[in-house]
Amino acid sequence: MLLLLPAVIAFGCATTNNKEYRAYAAPTIEKLAKDYAGKVKVGKVDTDANRDVSMRYGISAIPTVILFKNGEVAQKFVGLRQEKEFKEVLDAQG
């Protein structure tokens, strides 16, 4: 049986002028990648460059962060969130 690592994928826009996103969301995702290295895969999707992927997962606002477990959507976070919210969910995944 193939076991997949949980994955956290942040959907955003590389060309956004949203200061809150650039100042808060992006660094939070980068910190999660560092803190959970080897335990959770962390990535980013540019919604402008990957419209098909964004549509497949129903991205209607940025930032949106999706937690995948065993290849399936386990939880979706829409809007700015605190780092502790992501960590609580990730730590509960065991």
Domain ranges (residues) in the chain: 7-92
The pLDDT, as a whole number, for residue 17 is 65
Q: Which CATH superfamily is domain 7-92 in?
A: Glutaredoxin (3.40.30.10)
Q: pLDDT tens, 35-92?
A: 999 999 999 998 889 999 999 999 998 889 999 998 899 999 998 899 999 999 999 9
Residue 88 CB neighbour total at 10 angstroms? 10
Contact 11, 52 (CB under 8 A): no
The pLDDT, as a whole number, for residue 18 is 63
Task: Tell me the CA distances in angstroms from 57 to 6, 47, 61, 90, 91, one per residue in order.
Answer: 17, 11, 11, 20, 24
pLDDT band for 24, please (50, 70, 90 cuts): confident
Contact 62, 16 (CB under 8 A): yes
